[in-house]
Amino acid sequence: MRALLIVDAANVVGSVPDGWWRDRHGATERLRERLVAYAAGGLPGPVADPPLPGPLEVVLVVEGAARGVASVPGVRVVAADGSGDERIVALVAQREPGRRCAVVTADRELRERVRAHGAQVLGPRAVRPA
């Protein structure tokens, strides 16, 4: 069973001050394109501890202005109806029993919530080096 990698798009996009606020949709598409490589290759250590070997199921959770970002081969985009955090927690909680899951976010509250469901937590630099 492939491990599940869930990425908090708003949090990860906002982690690097590169002008993303001028074009949130475009910044999210650029993040999505970076994630394609992780779907096949996984996340090595020390970025992920323990490492997440590929192939991975990669889910990018979007909200707000990024809702129109489409899925591409290797990355499924899920648009949150309301809060992206709520959607992420639901995805973690609803995964198959025993399936390994990692969530990429810097949001402290979200980190604790997904850990309570057994998810590994990684910071934004795991998928978006500064």
Tell me: the pLDDT tens digits for 77-87?
Answer: 999 988 899 99
In the chain, pLDDT over 70 holds for what percent of residues?
99
pTM metric for this prediction: 0.95
What is the rounded average pLDDT for all residues in the chain?
A: 92
Question: Residue 94: CB partners within 8 Å, gap ≥ 6?
Answer: none
Q: Residue 21's pLDDT is what?
A: 76
Closest of 54, 26, 59 to residue 38, by C-alpha: 54
- What pLDDT digit, counting tens, does each position of 2-46 carry? 999 999 999 999 888 787 878 899 999 999 999 999 999 999 877
Banded pLDDT at 130 (limits 50, 70, 90): low
- Cβ-in-10-Å burial (0-12, 13-18, 19+) of 22 comes to exposed
